[in-house]
């Protein structure tokens, strides 16, 4: 049998390796920006065309390269940043693998112009699919300009996998922001298709956050500072009065690098335990400076994963630092929040958690179409629900006066003419749960989740008809969004209008909400819209993401949260009827359990 193994041609090997480092235009952007920073630049320009599919250019005023280095830098494992294995544990630069440029050059056409400050004349290198096409001396400014054209031109499969312009541009903006947030002393600009998206002057760390994320953070972020023998922590975190429904504005950096370390993210979030409602998230921009010998960055080519030597210790210090800063800078804010933050009956016992804000509700509130809710025309699953009421003959008929008094439960009674009245009573527990008697025992319903299911299906139905009617706001609301969010909202305007949100772009990142979905109040609408935007930002492909489902879910959960109140028996019955006429009465639109039946056996077992 002949030998089967062959060495791959270098061009193929390069393409395979490139796939690890450069997955999409934003990966190339990240690598080029990091190189510019490592080169000591203090002015960095990023120019993009067609979301990076046709052009990515990074121009810096850093150290530049000699003609020899300008050619060598495209070789695999060519780096000026480390020289020996030991250097891996003393990394102070963002790059060190000597792979990025080789990878970019393997899958695109690159033009590099570079000149060292001390040289009179610069050099131009043209390279295409790893092959040197030309090198010649040229006049150019000191620093480097990398111009990357037609990324993946020779890897059609990869190119076909690229997402829409809006999605790819969002990724680019994300990478740009992650780098720009770390280096406020560097001037950055980002131009897309001739339009300036960012023009960031030299600034302080706080100003840089605001330049990028928007003014709304100015009054809600507080500084975090801590220094121990092995870690220095600095940055900003949000006051507990500000929180998001999904993890959005969360940035953790280690030695100048944006990192994703769920363990440490958890440490920060846990500092907010008891201070913000469950299921919501703080915003933070926190930097850890650690001796490079105590971390390993070389786990993944994208370098966003890092291993620490003293992970547990860092967890504890980080949590304490965040907790301290929230306490120091915002406790007075929380106490001023009095009604909303109901700190018990005025006294907070040691160790007792602060309760989340009370939910305001309007007892006369009409969810979308009140008549819909009450009449419940489609009795699709009503029979199912009624089946649950059919009592077995052996249910004790004797009524316990006490029980009836306190619970209003009337499991089964006989009317004067001896007919069985199959009517069950309802009991509301702490405004949150509803209990009713069913054939096999009792049914426990989570009221908020029941509303979620009902509203969710109402919304979907409205979408299918002619969209959700919009009501004009007398005092239009302004919202300020980040750059990535603004791109998304502009793209989504027509769909948002179908959902009842009429939005206009006032200036760059400021939008005005002229109309909100009928039946919602301004606060609910604003909260829903912000959450919808956050959810959509997380979606890989906004065009394919079914925005109807995402919005219906968000709007339904927001409305339901604001809907808890004491219910009359009749209302509890209507709620249950309506729930059982939905397509899925037992599961909420976010996949949680709405109801459980507790059987008589279980109750007996419990009371043994
Ligand atoms: N903008 C720049 N200005 C000056 N020198 C640069 C610039 N970009 C790259 N270089 C030089 O080219 C070399 C190769 O860059 P490349 O990005 O491929 O590798 P790296 O940055 O060393 O490591 P990594 O692959 O981890 O990014 C760098 O080590 C640096 O010497
Ligand atoms: Mg690099």
- For the stretch 15-57, pLDDT in tens is 777 777 898 999 999 999 999 999 999 999 999 999 999 999 9
User: Is the Cβ–Cβ distance between 519 and 563 less than 8 Å?
Assistant: no
Instruction: Supply the residue whose CA is at minimum distance from atom 27 of ligand 1.
Output: 95
Angstrom distance (rounded) from CA 65 to CA 72: 10
Ligand 1: atom nearest CA of 74 is: 18
- CA 483 to ligand 1 center in whole angstroms: 28
User: Is the Cβ–Cβ distance between 511 and 478 less than 8 Å?
Assistant: yes
Token pair recorded at residue 399: 């009524």
pTM over 0.75: no
Instruction: Supply the residue whose CA is at minimum distance from atom 21 of ligand 1.
Output: 95
Angstrom distance (rounded) from CA 600 to CA 39: 73
Q: Nearest to residue 432, comparing CAs of 523, 365, 361, 364?
A: 361
- Which fold does the domain 360-608 belong to in CATH? Ribosomal Protein S8; Chain: A, domain 1 (3.30.1370)
> Which of 29, 35, 110 is the pocket-test mutation for ligand 1 (most atoms within 8 Å of CB)?
35
Instruction: Supply the residue whose CA is at minimum distance from atom 31 of ligand 1.
Output: 80
Instruction: Supply the residue whose CA is at minimum distance from atom 29 of ligand 1.
Output: 79
Averaged pLDDT, 296-312: 74
How does residue 143 score in pLDDT terms, banded at 50, 70 and 90? Answer: very high
Ligand 1: atom nearest CA of 63 is: 4
Angstrom distance (rounded) from CA 284 to CA 334: 18
Site residues for ligand 1, CB cut-off 6 Å: 31, 35-36, 38-39, 60, 62-65, 73, 78-81, 95-102, 144
Ligand at shortest distance from the CA of 300? 1
Is 50 exceeded by the pLDDT of residue 496? yes
User: Is the Cβ–Cβ distance between 71 and 125 less than 8 Å?
Assistant: yes
Sign of the alpha-carbon dihedral angle for 155, 161, 163, 169: negative
- CA 242 to ligand 2 center in whole angstroms: 37
Averaged pLDDT, 278-297: 88
How does residue 346 score in pLDDT terms, banded at 50, 70 and 90? Answer: very low
- Give the lowest-confidence range in 180-189, 317-326, 496-505: 496-505
pLDDT in tens, 530-572: 888 887 877 766 555 577 788 888 889 988 988 888 998 888 9
- CA 300 to ligand 1 center in whole angstroms: 18
Ligand 1: atom nearest CA of 62 is: 3
Ligand 1: atom nearest CA of 143 is: 3
- CA 53 to ligand 2 center in whole angstroms: 20
Averaged pLDDT, 272-297: 88
User: Which numeric CATH code is attached to 212-326?
Assistant: 3.30.230.10
pLDDT in tens, 102-135: 999 999 999 999 999 999 999 999 999 999 999 9
User: In this predicted structure, what is the pLDDT of residue 509?
Assistant: 79
User: In this predicted structure, what is the pLDDT of residue 250?
Assistant: 94
Is 50 exceeded by the pLDDT of residue 380? no
Residues that place a CB less than 5 A from ion ligand 2: 35, 95, 100
User: Is the Cβ–Cβ distance between 447 and 575 less than 8 Å?
Assistant: yes
How does residue 416 score in pLDDT terms, banded at 50, 70 and 90? Answer: low
- CA 78 to ligand 1 center in whole angstroms: 8
- CA 430 to ligand 2 center in whole angstroms: 58
- CA 211 to ligand 1 center in whole angstroms: 28
Ligand at shortest distance from the CA of 45? 1
Angstrom distance (rounded) from CA 183 to CA 205: 8
How does residue 483 score in pLDDT terms, banded at 50, 70 and 90? Answer: confident
User: In this predicted structure, what is the pLDDT of residue 184?
Assistant: 97
- Domain range annotation of the chain: 10-202, 212-326, 360-608
- CA 70 to ligand 1 center in whole angstroms: 10
User: In this predicted structure, what is the pLDDT of residue 256?
Assistant: 93
Ligand 1: atom nearest CA of 58 is: 1
Is 70 exceeded by the pLDDT of residue 365? no
- CA 9 to ligand 2 center in whole angstroms: 24
How buried is residue 28: exposed, middle or buried, by Cβ count under 10 Å (0-12/13-18/19+)?
Answer: buried
Highest mean pLDDT, choosing among 88-97, 236-245, 539-548, 581-590 = 236-245
**Segments of 371-484 assigned E as strands:** 413-414, 420-421, 426-429, 433-438, 441-446, 470-480
Instruction: Supply the residue whose CA is at minimum distance from atom 9 of ligand 1.
Output: 35
How does residue 424 score in pLDDT terms, banded at 50, 70 and 90? Answer: low
Instruction: Supply the residue whose CA is at minimum distance from atom 17 of ligand 1.
Output: 100
State the DSSP string of 199-242: EE-S--HHHHHHHHH-GGGTTTEEEEEEE-SSEEEEEEEE-TT-
Report the top-level CATH class of 10-202: alpha beta
pLDDT in tens, 192-221: 999 999 999 999 999 999 999 988 888 899
Sign of the alpha-carbon dihedral angle for 19, 25, 27, 30: positive
How buried is residue 570: exposed, middle or buried, by Cβ count under 10 Å (0-12/13-18/19+)?
Answer: exposed
How buried is residue 278: exposed, middle or buried, by Cβ count under 10 Å (0-12/13-18/19+)?
Answer: exposed
- CA 496 to ligand 1 center in whole angstroms: 44
Higher pLDDT, 150 or 543: 150
**pLDDT mean across residues, the chain:** 80
């Amino acid at each position: 049998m002949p030998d089967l193994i062959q060495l791959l041609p270098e061009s193929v090997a390069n393409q395979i390796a490139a796939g690890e480092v450069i997955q999409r235009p934003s990966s190339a952007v990240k690598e080029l920006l990091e190189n510019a920073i490592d080169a000591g630049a203090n002015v960095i320009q990023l120019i993009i065309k067609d979301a990076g599919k046709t052009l990515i250019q990074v121009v810096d005023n850093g150290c530049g390269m000699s003609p020899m280095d300008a050619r060598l830098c495209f070789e695999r494992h060519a780096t000026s940043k480390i020289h020996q294995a030991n250097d891996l544990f003393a990394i102070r630069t963002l790059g060190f693998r000597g792979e990025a440029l080789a990878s970019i050059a393997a899958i695109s056409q690159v033009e590099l112009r570079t000149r060292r400050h001390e040289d009179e004349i610069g050099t131009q290198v043209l390279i295409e699919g790893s092959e040197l096409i030309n090198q010649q001396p040229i006049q150019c400014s000191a620093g480097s300009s990398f111009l990357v054209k037609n990324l993946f031109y020779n890897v059609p499969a990869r190119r076909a996998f690229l997402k829409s312009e809006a999605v790819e541009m969002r990724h680019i903006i994300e990478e740009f922001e992650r780098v720009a947030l770390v280096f406020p002393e560097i001037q950055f600009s980002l131009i897309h298709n001739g339009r300036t998206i960012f023009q960031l002057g030299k600034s302080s760390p706080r100003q840089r956050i605001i330049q990028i994320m928007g003014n709304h953070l100015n009054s809600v972020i507080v500084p975090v500072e801590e220094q121990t023998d092995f870690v220095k922590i600095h940055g900003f975190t949000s006051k507990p009065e500000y929180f998001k429904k999904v993890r959005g504005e969360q940035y953790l950096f280690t030695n100048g690098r944006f990192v994703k370390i769920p363990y440490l993210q958890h440490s920060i979030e846990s500092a907010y335990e008891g201070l913000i409602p469950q299921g919501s998230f703080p915003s933070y921009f926190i930097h850890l400076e650690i001796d490079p010998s105590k971390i390993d960055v070389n786990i993944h080519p994208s370098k966003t994963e890092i291993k620490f030597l003293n992970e547990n210790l860092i967890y504890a210090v980080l949590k304490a630092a965040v907790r301290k800063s929230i306490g120091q800078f915002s406790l007075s804010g929380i106490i001023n929040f009095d009604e909303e933050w109901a700190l018990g009956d005025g006294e907070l016992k040691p160790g007792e958690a602060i309760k989340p804000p009370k939910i305001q509700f309007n007892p006369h509130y009409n969810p979308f179409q009140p008549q819909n809710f009450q009449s419940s025309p489609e009795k699709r699953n009503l029979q199912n629900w009624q089946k649950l009421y059919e009592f077995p003959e052996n249910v004790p008929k004797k009524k316990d006066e006490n029980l009836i008094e306190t619970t209003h439960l009337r499991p089964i009674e006989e009317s004067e003419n001896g007919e069985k009245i199959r009517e069950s009573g309802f009991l509301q527990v702490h405004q949150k749960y509803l209990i009713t008697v069913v054939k096999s025992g009792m049914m426990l319903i989570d009221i908020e989740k029941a509303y979620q299911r009902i509203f969710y299906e109402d919304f979907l139905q409205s979408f299918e008809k002619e969209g959700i009617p919009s009501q004009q706001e007398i005092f239009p609301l302004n919202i300020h969004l980040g750059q990535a969010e603004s791109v998304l909202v502009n793209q989504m305007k027509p769909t948002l209008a179908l959902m009842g949100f009429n939005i206009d772009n006032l200036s760059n990142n400021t939008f005005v909400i002229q109309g909100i979905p009928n039946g919602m109040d301004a606060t609910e609408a604003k909260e829903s819209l912000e959450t919808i935007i956050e959810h959509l930002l997380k979606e890989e492909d906004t065009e394919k993401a079914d925005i109807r489902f995402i919005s219906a879910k968000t709007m339904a959960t927001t409305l339901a949260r604001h809907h808890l109140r004491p219910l009359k028996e009749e209302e509890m019955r209507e709620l249950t009827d309506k729930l059982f006429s939905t397509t899925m009465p037992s599961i909420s639109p976010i996949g949680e359990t709405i109801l459980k039946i507790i059987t008589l056996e279980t109750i007996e077992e419990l009371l043994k």
